[in-house]
Structure 1
Amino acid sequence: MMQALPPPPPAVEALAPERSVATTEEVRVAAALTDARVMVDSSFRGASIVLFGAVFNPTDDPADVVVVVRGPDAPVRLVKKTRNTGVWLNSRPVLFEGAPGFYMTASTRPLSDIADFGQLRRLGVGLDHLRINAPQESRTVTRYGVRDVVVSRLEDDYLDWRRAVIRLREGAALYNSDPEGVEFVDRGLFRAEVELPAVAPTGEYFAEVWLFQQGEPVSVSNLTLTVEKVGIERDIFEFAHRRPWTYGLLCVLLAMFTGWAASRVFRRH
């Protein structure tokens, strides 16, 4: 005897998926890093980190993405070669008290095509607009073991000294600007590479991902990146900073022992 099958369940009307108001009505950018922490040890030869993100743009106006990565600030000591009575001598050193140890920009096209000079200067975006803290007052101090280091307002010479800082850091691959470094891999999805050289300073890095429309910044995403020493290098670094006098004495003793051992070896031969 056959049994009657139960009636089918009532049809449920499919609901349209809800969409975030921020996605549909607000122009914004979101970004992240493939690795927000870089470990530095004796085998460190640099690192390549991918920054990726998405642009939410419900309007018909095209948008540009600009990535700025800035490393920890550190003082920079500079001297200038001057000719005096036929002899080249170093000028009195000048100390910049706040230059970023690392700085890079990457964008979808040249910065000058994305925004005007005033906007870039206000935001500090680009090597031409990089904020480097110049000395604020005239005085002499002792830095890096050198006496009478001049820390002064550079006035008209500031731009020349500032260009020298940027030129030296570019030569060490610590400063870089890539006008085509941001690549759209799909509609609204982009990527950029952050290349850290082997001499990249340790500390906390700050990344800004700007979204521009019609020359105006309309959104920004802020990220952090940590570069830190690990292993024996970290232990030595922390010991040198906690007990500098002891560290210096041990280095002198080690140098003396190494010299004595080398002289003994060569004397036997």
Structure 2
Amino acid sequence: MIQALPPPPPAIIAPAPERSVGTVGQVRVAAAMTDARVMIDSSFRGASIVLYGAVFNPTDRPADVVVVVRGPDGPVRLVKKTRNMGFWLNSRPVLFEGAPGFYMTASTRPLSDIADFGQLRRLGVGVDHLRINAPQESRTVTRYGVRDVVVSRLGEDYLDYRRAVIRLREAAALYNTDPDGVEFVDAGLFRAEVELPAVAPTGQYFAEVWLFQDGEPVSVSNLTLTVEKVGIERDLYEFAHRRPWSYGVLVVLLAAFMGWAASRLFRRS
């Protein structure tokens, strides 16, 4: 006797993955880096890091991507050559406290075509809009009948010194602007390269990936990058900064010993 088999159970259809309610119909950008940490040793000759991401744009309006990478702030000491009685002399040193040690911008097209001057200035995007703290030294004067007006000691020379800071950092490949540095490799997928020179400062780097639409910032993705020394270089660096007096004494003693050893060696020969 042949017994009929029971019918197969109904097929289970997996529900379609749901998108986050907060991102439905929202224009936004998401980004990441190939490396979040860069190790510096004696053989370090620079590094190239790829920053990549995706643009979610449910509208038919085009959008632009701007990448800003800023390194740790540090002081910059400048002197200006002045001619005095036929001699070229160094002026009084000027110290800028808040200049970033590394600054890079990359975009899909020139920044001036993406947003207006005021918008870029408010966001601090671009070398021309880079926030560099002026020296704290100031003086009090009376202008236009108003007493106790505090002005910077640099006065009108501030812009010249600021341009000098940017020019020196650009010559060392620490400041860079690339109007074609962001490339769309597929629909909504983009990439940009962050080139760190061998003289890149150590510390915490901050990357901002801005999405502009119709000249306005509509989304931003924030990333961090750590550049640190490893090996004997890190030990010497930390010792020199934590105990500078001891480090200085050891360096002097080592130099004296090397000089004495060299004199003995050449005297025998």
Q: Which TM-score applies when normalising by structure 2?
A: 0.91
Q: Indicate the SS of the match to 2:9.
A: coil
| 1:135-175 superposed Cα distances (whole Å, 9 cap, x missing partner) | 13338xxxxxxxxxxxx532211110000000000010000
Rounded Cα–Cα distance in structure 2 between residues aligned with 1:251 and 1:16:
68
Alpha-carbon offset, residue 238 of structure 1: 1.0
Aligned match of 1:121: 121
Give the secondary-structure state (helix, strand or coil) at the position aligned to 1:25: coil
The whole-number CA distance in structure 2 between the counterparts of 1:90 and 1:50 is: 42
Match of 1:226, SS state, is: strand
CA distance in 2 between counterparts of 1:241 and 1:16 reads 57
Q: Deviations over 1:193-212 (max 9, x none)?
A: 11100100000011100000
Q: Which residue of 1 aligns with 2:39?
A: 39
Residue 198 of structure 1 is matched in structure 2 by: 198
Unmatched 5+ residue regions in structure 1?
A: 140-151
Q: Give the corresponding residue for 1:215.
A: 215
Alpha-carbon RMSD: 1.5
Structure 1 consecutive aligned stretches of length 4 or more whose deviation exceeds 4 Å: 11-14
CA contact (8 A) 1:68 1:105 kept: yes
Q: Which residue is 1:166 aligned to?
A: 166
Output the TM-score relative to the length of structure 1.
0.91
How far is 1:14 from its partner? 5.9
CA contact (8 A) 1:134 1:153 kept: no
Q: d(CA) in 2 for partners of 1:84 and 1:202? A: 40
Shift of 1:16: 3.8
**C-alpha distance in structure 2 between counterparts of 1:260 and 1:13, whole Å:** 85
Q: From the superposition, tell whether residues 211 and 6 of structure 1 become closer, same or farther in structure 2 (CA, over 3 Å).
A: same
1:21: how far off?
A: 2.8
> Percent of aligned pairs with the same residue?
87
How far did residue 11 of structure 1 move? 4.2
Distance 1:245 1:122 in 2: 43
Q: What CA deviation, in whole Å up to 9, does each residue of 1:225-260 have, x standing for no partner?
A: 111111111111111111111100000000011111
SS at match of 1:7: coil
Q: 1:83, 1:266 → 2: CA distance?
A: 45
